[in-house]
Structure 1
Amino acid sequence: MFRKYQNVFRSRWRALWWAAGVLLTAYCTVPAGHGPEKAPTPAAPHHTNPWALEKHG
């Protein structure tokens, strides 16, 4: 089962190249994020006194 992978790891350099290929494949296939999107800041709510006799607009 692991016969074909034994040839890859005969030397350290081959192992490093194989690992670099795996990392490059992962880097190229995973979609990049568009960065943190800033949510629009909600407007500060206007404070109204619930006990006020007159409502100011």
Structure 2
Amino acid sequence: MISTLGPSMKTVFRSRWRALWWAAGVLVTAYCAVPSPDDDAAKPAVHQRVQATNPWAKDSADK
């Protein structure tokens, strides 16, 4: 038998109100789990261009 965390589906959906509370709990969990983006618009994002190198090339060919 599979052990579950929380109430079983039969008891959750016994009434509409319990189903709504369960759905609200799922939505709150999802909202809290997703990190928010940085809101600091004053600092511009610094992107450095990285030159791709060939990992199989000989050292003399890279220079």
- The TM tier, using the shorter chain, reads 0.5 to 0.7
For structure 1, the 5+ residue unaligned runs are 41-57
Q: TM-score, normalised by structure 1?
A: 0.53
Partner in structure 2 of residue 9 of structure 1? 13
**Displacement over 3 Å in runs of 4+:** 37-40
Identity among equivalent pairs (%): 62
Measured on the aligned residues, the alpha-carbon RMSD in Å equals 2.4
Matches of 2:19 and 2:38, distance apart in 1: 33
**1:31 and 2:35 aligned:** yes
Structure with greater Cα Rg: 1
CA distance in 2, matches of 1:19, 1:33: 25
State the number of aligned residues.
38
Give me the TM-score of the superposition, normalised by structure 2: 0.49
Q: CA deviation at 1:33?
A: 1.2
